[in-house]
Structure 1
Amino acid sequence: MPQLHPRQLLLLSLFAGLLTMALKTLAWYLTGSVGFLSDAMESLVNVAGAGFALWMVTIASRPADAGHPFGHSKAEYFSAAFEGGMIFAAAIAIFVTAAERLLNPQAITALGLGTFLTVLASVINLAIGLLLIRAGKQYQSPALEGDGKHLLTDVWTTAGVVIGVTLAAISGLSWLDAAVAMLVALHILREGAGILAKAINGLMDKALPEPQVQQLTELLAHISADYLATPNTGLNLPDASQVSFINLRTRAAATQAFAQADLQVPGHWTVAQAHQLADIAEQQLAELGVQLTLHIEPRSSTVAQSCD
Structure 2
Amino acid sequence: MARLSILVSLVVLGIKYAAWAVSGSGALLSDAIETILNVLASVGTLWAVAFAARPADDNHPYGHGKAEYVWAVIEGVLVVLTALVILSIAGHDALHIQAPEAPLPGALLNASAGVINLIWALILRRMGKKHHSQALSSAGDHVLSDVWASLALLIGVCLIPILHWLWLDPLLSALVALNVLWTGFGMMRHSMTGLLDEAPPPELVHEVGQTITQAGQGALEAHDLRMRRVGALYFVEFHLIVPDEMRITDAHDICDRIENAIRAVLGRSSIHIHVEPEDLAKRHKPGASGVLVM
TM-score class normalised by the smaller sequence: over 0.9
**Equivalent position of 1:91 in the other structure:** 83
- Look up the SS of the partner of 2:292 in the other structure: coil
Indicate if the aligned counterparts of 2:239 and 2:275 stay in contact, CA closer than 8 A: yes
Report SS of the residue matched to 1:250: strand
Aligned equivalents of 1:256, 1:18: Cα separation in 2 = 32
Residue by residue, what CA displacement relative to the aligned partner does 1:160-182 show, whole Å, maximum 9, x if unpaired? 11112222232222111001100
Determine the structure 2 residue equivalent to 1:294. 273
Q: 1:160 aligns with which of 152, 160, 166?
A: 152
Query: Hey, what's the Cα distance between the residues in 1 that align with 2:17 and 2:92?
Result: 19
- Partners of 1:75 and 1:191 in 2: CA distance: 20
**Separation (CA, whole Å) in 2 of partners of 1:20 and 1:185:** 18
Match of 1:102 in 2: 94
SS in 2 for 1:300: helix
SS, match of residue 307 in structure 1: strand
Asked if the contact 2:94–2:167 (Cα under 8 Å) also holds between the matched residues in 1, the reply is: yes
Displacement after TM superposition at 1:78 (Å): 1.5
1:186 Cα deviation after fit: 1.0
Contact 1:49 1:82 in 2 (8 A): no
Corresponding residue for residue 132 of structure 2? 140
| Matching residue of 2:2 | 10
Question: 1:63: which partner in 2?
Answer: 55
Query: What is the SS of the residue equivalent to 1:109?
Result: coil
Q: In structure 1, what is the equivalent of residue 165 of structure 2?
A: 173
**Number of residues of Structure 1 aligned to a counterpart in Structure 2:** 285
Residue identity opposite 2:277 in structure 1: P
Aligned to 2:221: 244
Cα distance in 2 for partners of 1:302, 1:144 equals: 43
Q: Which amino acid aligns with 1:118?
A: N
2: CA distance, partners of 1:101 / 1:179: 9
**Is the 2:244–2:277 Cα contact (8 Å) retained in structure 1?**
yes
Q: In the TM superposition, what whole-angstrom CA distance separates every residue of 1:188-227 from its partner, at most 9, and x where no partner exists?
A: 11111010111222100111122221221111111013xx
Q: Does 2:4 align with 1:19?
A: no
Distance 1:280 1:34 in 2: 63
Shift of 1:136: 1.0
Amino acid of the residue matched to residue 291 of structure 1? S
Name the SS for the 2:100 alignment partner: coil
- One-letter amino acid of the structure 1 residue matched with residue 272 of structure 2: T
List per-residue Cα deviations over 1:124-155 (Å, max 9, x = no partner).
11001111111111111111111111111111
Give the unaligned 5+ runs of structure 1.
1-8, 229-241
Q: State the TM-score, normalized to the length of structure 1.
A: 0.89
For residues 112-127 of structure 1, the aligned pairs below 5 Å read 112-127=104-119
* Correspondence for 1:208: 200
Cα distance in structure 2, aligned partners of 1:212 and 1:290? 14
Query: Using the alignment, how far apart are the partners of 1:68 and 1:149 within structure 2?
Result: 29
User: Which residue identity lines up with residue 270 of structure 2 in the other structure?
Assistant: Q
User: Counterpart of 2:258?
Assistant: 281
Tell me which residue corresponds to 1:253. 230
- In the TM superposition, what whole-angstrom CA distance separates every residue of 1:238-295 from its partner, at most 9, and x where no partner exists? xxxx522211100111221111011110011121111111122223323422221100
Give the drift of 1:38: 1.1
Shift of 1:301: 6.4
Letter in 1 for 2:291: S
1:33 lines up with 2:60 in the alignment: no
3-state SS, counterpart of residue 36 of structure 2: helix
The structure 1 segments of at least 4 consecutive aligned residues displaced by more than 4 Å after TM superposition are: none
Q: Greater CA deviation, 296-305 or 121-130?
A: 296-305
Q: Deviations over 1:89-130 (max 9, x none)?
A: 111111111111111112212223212211111011100111
RMSD of aligned Cα (Å): 1.4
Asked whether the equivalents of residues 221 and 240 of structure 2 are also in contact (C-alpha less than 8 Å), the reply is yes
